[in-house]
Structure 1
Amino acid sequence: MGFFSDYIPRSGDKLLTKWAHYFEIYERELTRFRARPVTFMEIGVFRGGSLPMWKEFFAPGSTLVFIDIDPDCKAHEIEGTHVEIGSQGDPAFLASLADRYGPFDVILDDGSHLCPHQIASFEALWPHLTDRGVYMVEDCHSSYWPGFGGGYRNEASFIEYSKRLIDRMHSWYTDQDALFPFDDMARHLNSVRFYDSIVVCEKLDKQQPPTSLAIRNGKVEPSRKALTLRNRSSVFANKDGR
């Protein structure tokens, strides 16, 4: 686990609670952000154990913001960090943080785990994520708990919301305009990655629609024809016995 396998044995007296497999995910998703100072926000402070960990993980000079609804969490603030008190379900509070500290390179939601809060926070903060930044929501198994606003295949859960993000990302290619119209999220969402209990959304501001390249003998011919076709069918139709 690189950094985390070194850090955990020498962590301090502030309690840090994470599922064991999260640290490998952090290593995979966040290592590229260590090379320079970044702006990082974590939703959820609890006992304060993550503050010193993230302070050491990210480069010196990084802006590290932590939010929690519990006023007692302000006491966990350490040098080089900012602890702000407010609800992740309050768009006005989140907007004030974005104005003060944003834009953010990394946002990590380890807050209430309530599906309505996870969705509200994502929608409020996604516009304030930098190009190539990542938005991570952890403990997404709460999407399968009715008491957290979830439940299996509950459309109101964050997992189901995230699945719909995949559709929105692919709406460039729609062939059913009335049923599945183009969604502007396609211009900003580069990938949605699902891990056990963690969803990672990567941002990429795309100035132009996707381009198909036909390449032969070193010659490249770009085209966007596939984005405008309707009622298309496979060129392999009736060639496989069906």
Structure 2
Amino acid sequence: MSSLTSKVALVTGGSRGIGAAIVQKLAAEGASIAFTYVNSAEKANAIVKELEKAGTKALAIQADSSLQKDVAAAVAQTAQHFGRLDILVNNAAVFVIGPIEDADKNTAQYDRQIDINIRSIATAIREAAKYISDNGRIITISSAVANYVGTAHLTDYAATKAAASSYSRGYAHDLGKRGITVNAVQPGPVDTDMNPDSGAFADAMRSKTALGRYGKAEEIAALVGFLAGPDAAYITGASITIDGGLSA
């Protein structure tokens, strides 16, 4: 029997990159899956069909994580559709970088980054707490830059990720009495369309890692799968860095 059989998981931002890898991993472990997407209904529906063909119950939910009402609705829809909620993975995020001299020109992008990278996490956890089963799992995809920035132009993004990890520590105390674990996963550079290993900063980032390479989305998903399972029941309030030695 797979470790997550009979469990229901919601993954925000689950149609691409790390989110899509997490969806596939949790499904492989036996969970029924809901995931949110913003724009590509065709791609989201293709993932649903693929999962259903493999025997997984799946639901794609259109939701903009910059809108807190969409986040709350996605949580409620998941619980209502499947009749329960056991695992929440906060993955949706945006990556806005730039020099301090340009900060005043990018206030709209800054506000959107705050809304998605911070506010949506708080909203999702607060809403999930209404539905999630005792001994459930909440996992937030933060970033290694929450602890180690290492270069210029990442300040605002790094601050949002530090907040994301801090939420996990705080909510671990709030929800621990129900056996619910709350943890953050802090990836380093991972090859996705948001941060490809062929991008403008790729060589510099690669050279900073001990392993000399970008991570794979599946490697992040494997850690999430472990934290979602029964063997991680005594891990909570942790911020686990998985960065190839970037911050070593």
Q: TM-score, normalised by structure 2?
A: 0.47
Specify which structure has the bigger relative contact order, considering alpha-carbon pairs within 8 angstroms and separated by 6 or more residues.
2
Q: TM-score, normalised by structure 1?
A: 0.48
Structure with the higher strand share, 1 or 2: 1
Structure with the higher helix share, 1 or 2: 2
